[in-house]
């Protein structure tokens, strides 16, 4: 009996020596620091999702290579994989010291000395995993120059918006190689958006004009908060919602946690590429362009023009309206979390991570992933930067891409 008791005590000591939380979640949060638009400028879409997909792929690779080792070994390997892949993507240009500090601060909690024999091996495996992934993505198209030529200033044609960049964001992203052998993203391309001559178009335009104005008199306080609540990077926000659903249930299951977050972030990246394909296929104008236009272009003869109109969320992002990538990300994330969760019902509380117009932190509780995705989509209409149909269609595109990514994941996830 005595050896058995001593063995149990030793095993408990090993577990207690490890980082007590979910190490994968820890590094998801650290990588999100560089994505969130409120921190040092953030990242454009879809590179924001491309980046976290690389990091989580490296984390999963490290977890798989260490799955037969102790918990603290796995945690140290995963930490070095995350650190090196983050630093590689940014090459030290974005808060390099913060990433170093994040690794330094978690090592004592992990409890495995990096200079020990096991520690050195864990570090080696983590670094190798990062190198494998980032090397495979070195020529995936994200760095390529793709020129953009604006269409004539006719109704529905995308134009520069107040405060936006001279050239739209990352036009090359539609051509980037997807993750997990997803294949040609054009098969997810949405049908064209409604033309200005379509019967329903006028209603969509009037709705976003009234609901999305900075000083709207019809938007409710709750809907204003909805626009603010979902303002942060979708990549950060949906990963944080995933944390709220998963909790600490995978803290001692590093491989399972790494797989879940790899699935989530690879699906987000693929959804971003598919969204960009639709955006740049149709080049549809933003609400602010339509509303500030001075001529009458609606078939009914309604004069919608208001050159002084300003959206609640500003400036309007520098890329076409249709489809809403924010909504596409939401549809994709909800689909992945739903599969892991075994259904749509959740009980998750989340607080906003970006404050605007002195509103402060907003906290909401969600009981349905579908409801969260719909609210996320609607937030861009209440913010005045998207038409309703751009969001609804984006949700559908995101869900389709995510389900296909999950379908291919087990067999093809490492086809970086």
Break the chain into its structural domains and give their ranges.
2-142+150-412
Rounded mean pLDDT, 126-155: 95
CATH of 2-142+150-412, one of 3.20.20.60, 1.10.606.20, 2.40.160.10, 3.40.50.300: 1.10.606.20
Over 80: is that where the pLDDT of 5 sits? no
Query: Percent of the chain having pLDDT more than 70?
Result: 93
Which of 95-104, 213-222, 225-234, 359-368 has the least mean pLDDT? 95-104
Nearest to 221 by CA among 104, 18, 357: 357
Distance in angstroms (rounded) separating the CA atoms of residues 231 and 227: 6
Residue 17 pLDDT level (bands cut at 50, 70, 90): low
At residue 310, the pLDDT reads: 97
Q: How far is CA 341 from the centre of its chain?
A: 19
CA-based nearest residue to 63, from 306, 392, 334, 414: 414
At 36 the pLDDT is 65
**Taking residues 187-200, what's their average pLDDT?**
96
Residue 40 pLDDT > 70, yes or no? no
Residue 12, pLDDT above cutoff 50: no
Q: For residue 90, what pLDDT is reported? A: 79
pLDDT the model gives residue 46: 86
Whole-number pLDDT of residue 33: 76
Residue 14 has pLDDT above 80, yes or no: no
- pLDDT tens digits, one per residue of 262-290: 999 999 999 999 999 999 999 999 999 99
Q: How confident is the model at residue 4 (pLDDT cuts 50, 70, 90)?
A: very low
Nearest to 373 by CA among 406, 341, 328, 403: 328
How sure is the predictor about 72, in pLDDT bands with cuts at 50, 70 and 90? very high
| pTM score, whole prediction | 0.94
**pLDDT tens-digit readout, 201-212:** 999 999 999 999
Mean pLDDT, rounded, of the chain: 92
pLDDT surpasses 90 at 292: yes
Residue 359 is predicted with a pLDDT of: 84
Q: Residue 357's pLDDT band (boundaries 50, 70, 90)? A: confident
Confidence (pLDDT) at 95 = 61
Q: Is 175's pLDDT higher than 70?
A: yes
**Distance from the first to the final alpha carbon of the chain:** 50
Q: What DSSP letter does each residue of 266-291 carry, written as one string?
A: HHHHHHHHHHHHHHHHH-BPPHHHHH
- Whole-number Å distance between alpha carbons of 348 and 329: 18
pLDDT score for 355: 73
Cα 273 to Cα 338: distance, rounded to the nearest angstrom: 22
Q: Any idea what the Cα angle at residue 384 is, between residues 323 and 310, rounded to 5°?
A: 135
The residues, ordered by sequence, that sit 6+ positions from 67 with a Cβ below 8 Å of its Cβ are: 74, 254, 255
Across 301-328, average pLDDT: 96
For residue 1, pLDDT beyond 70: no
Position with higher pLDDT, 164 vs 385: 385
Alpha-helical regions (H) of 247-350: 254-282, 287-292, 325-341
Could you give the maximum distance between any two Cα atoms of the chain, in Å? 90
Output the CA–CA distances (angstroms, integers) from residue 324 to 135, 136, 276, 286, 378, in the order listed. 31, 29, 9, 10, 10
- For residue 77, pLDDT beyond 90: yes
- The pLDDT value recorded for residue 93 is 61
């Amino acid at each position: 009996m005595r050896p058995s008791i001593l063995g149990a005590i030793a095993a408990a000591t090993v577990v207690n020596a490890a980082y007590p939380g979910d190490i994968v979640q820890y590094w998801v949060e650290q990588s999100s620091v560089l994505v969130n638009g409120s921190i040092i400028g953030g990242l454009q879409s879809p590179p924001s999702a491309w980046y976290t997909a690389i990091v989580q792929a490296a984390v999963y690779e490290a977890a798989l290579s260490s799955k037969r080792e102790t918990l603290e070994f796995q945690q140290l390997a995963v930490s070095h994989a995350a650190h090196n892949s983050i630093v590689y993507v940014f090459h030290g240009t974005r808060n390099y010291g913060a990433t170093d500090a994040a690794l330094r601060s978690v090592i004592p909690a992990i409890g495995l000395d990096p200079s020990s024999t096991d520690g050195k091996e864990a570090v080696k495996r983590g670094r190798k995993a990062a190198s494998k992934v980032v090397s495979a993505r070195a020529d995936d198209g994200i760095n390529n120059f793709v020129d953009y030529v604006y269409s004539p200033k006719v109704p529905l044609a995308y134009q520069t918006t107040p405060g936006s960049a001279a050239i739209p964001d990352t036009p090359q992203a539609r051509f980037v190689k997807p993750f997990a052998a997803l294949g040609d993203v054009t098969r997810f391309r949405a049908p064209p958006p409604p033309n200005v001559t379509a019967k329903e178009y006028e209603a969509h335009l009037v709705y976003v004009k009234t609901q999305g104005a900075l000083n709207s008199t019809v938007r409710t306080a709750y809907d204003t908060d909805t626009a603010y609540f979902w303002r942060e990077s979708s990549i950060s926000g949906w990963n944080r919602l995933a944390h709220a659903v998963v909790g600490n249930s995978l803290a001692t299951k590093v491989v399972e946690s790494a797989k879940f977050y790899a699935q989530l972030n690879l699906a987000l990246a693929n959804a971003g590429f598919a969204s960009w394909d639709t955006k740049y296929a149709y080049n549809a104008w933003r609400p602010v362009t339509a509303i500030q236009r001075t001529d009458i272009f609606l078939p009914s003869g309604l004069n919608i023009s208001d050159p002084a109109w300003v959206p609640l969320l500003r400036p309007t992002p520098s890329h076409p309206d249709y489809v809403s990538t924010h909504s596409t990300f939401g549809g994709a994330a909800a689909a992945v979390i739903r599969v892991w969760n075994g259904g749509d019902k959740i009980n998750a509380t989340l607080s906003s991570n970006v404050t605007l117009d002195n509103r402060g932190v907003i906290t909401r509780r969600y009981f349905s992933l579908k409801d969260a995705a719909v609210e996320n989509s609607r937030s861009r209409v209440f913010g005045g930067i998207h038409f309703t149909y751009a969001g609804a269609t984006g949700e559908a595109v995101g869900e389709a891409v995510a389900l296909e990514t999950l379908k291919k994941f087990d067999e093809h996830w490492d086809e970086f």
